[in-house]
């Protein structure tokens, strides 16, 4: 009977698959990018995952987020994604943190394990900066997802050091804040330099932790998530 990881082993070899099986990855944020990254890492054979998010699935998530189904609305993303990951690999060592992580909580999460990689899929600037800064202080490998919103062409998505980003508003604000913390380079990001269309963002007042609603197409966050997973996997086995 075929083992579910046989095809992965055929591509990368037994020893590299063992490396993935023994690796622990932290994924902060389970939106369109983070949930896809988590699933691709799980399917590739990562043996231990820690997933972090506090949000529940909303109707507006359905245009782009893997766990967002009518039957899942109102459920916590960590619950839905966690169940899905265990249904892919029942042997997965999974830690679920159903909290909004800021400052002290980020430090606590980063101290829970000796992570082999950290995936930053947070879309709010302040906790994103705090996670990046403290991940680098701990010398963990890091891939950070920048703005998939307002982007349309998957052929323009790039992976680069943060210092090499351009024409991405989130990258601009991130660099500006990190420069004040004396961080100028040293971690990879996923970004797109595609020109964005005017009128694809809406200012909102009432939603928790968010000040704007950004137009997003179904496939772009998923592509960013796949890029994140590919960076993690290739770095771990290379």
In a domain, 165, yes or no: yes
What does 70-136 look like in DSSP terms, one character per residue? GGGTTSBHHHHHHHHHHHH-TT-EEEEE-S---THHHHHHHTSS--SEEEE---SHHHHHHHHHHHH
The answer as to whether 119 is a domain residue is yes
Strand partners, 158: 191
pLDDT, one tens digit per residue, over 157-186 is 999 999 999 999 999 999 999 999 999 999
Question: Domain of 131: which CATH number?
Answer: 3.40.50.720
Is 1 domain-assigned? no
Asked if the structure places residue 74 within a domain, the reply is yes
Mean pLDDT of 90-96: 98
Query: Checking DSSP bridges between strand 48-52 and strand 93-97, what pairing results, if any?
Result: parallel
Quote the pLDDT of residue 97: 97
pLDDT surpassing 70 at residue 28: yes
CA 218/CA 66 separation, integer angstroms = 10
pLDDT of the residue at 186: 97
Residue 35 lies in a domain: yes
* DSSP bridge partners of 213: 202
- pLDDT score, position 105: 92
DSSP 26-59: EEE--SHHHHHHHHHHHHHT-SEEEEE--PBP-G
Q: How far apart are CA 195 and CA 93, in angstroms?
A: 41
189-224 confidence digits (pLDDT tens): 999 999 987 767 766 665 555 567 889 999 999 999
Q: How far apart are CA 126 and CA 123, in angstroms?
A: 9
With tokens 């029942």, the residue in question is 90
Distance from chain centroid for Cα 109: 15
Question: Which of 1-10, 20-29, 133-142 is predicted least confidently?
Answer: 1-10
**What whole-number distance in Å separates Cα of residue 77 and Cα of residue 82?**
8
In a domain, 226, yes or no: yes
Indicate the number of domains in the chain.
1
Is-above-0.75 flag for pTM?
Answer: yes
Q: State the residue range of the domain holding 180.
A: 6-237
């Amino acid at each position: 009977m075929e083992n579910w990881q046989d095809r992965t082993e055929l591509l990368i070899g037994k020893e590299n698959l063992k490396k993935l099986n023994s690796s622990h990855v932290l994924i902060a944020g389970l939106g369109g990018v983070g949930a896809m990254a988590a699933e691709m890492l799980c399917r590739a054979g990562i043996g231990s995952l820690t997933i972090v998010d506090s949000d529940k699935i909303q109707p507006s998530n359905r245009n782009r987020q893997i766990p967002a189904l009518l039957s899942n609305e109102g459920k916590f993303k960590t619950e839905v994604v966690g169940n899905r990951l265990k249904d892919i690999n029942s042997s997965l060592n999974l830690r679920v943190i159903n909290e909004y992580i800021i400052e002290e909580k980020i430090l606590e999460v980063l101290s829970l394990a000796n992570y082999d990689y950290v995936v930053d899929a947070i879309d709010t600037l302040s906790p994103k900066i705090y996670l990046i800064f403290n991940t680098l202080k701990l010398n963990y490998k890091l891939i950070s997802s920048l703005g998939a919103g307002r982007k349309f062409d998957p052929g323009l998505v790039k992976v680069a050091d943060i210092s090499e980003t351009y024409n991405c508003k989130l990258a601009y604000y991130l660099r500006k804040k990190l420069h004040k913390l004396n961080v100028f380079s040293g971690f990879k990001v996923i970004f797109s330099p595609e020109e964005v269309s005017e009128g694809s963002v809406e200012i909102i007042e009432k939603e928790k932790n968010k000040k704007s609603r950004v137009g997003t197409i179904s496939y772009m966050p998923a592509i960013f998530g796949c890029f994140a997973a590919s960076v993690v996997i290739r770095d771990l086995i290379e």
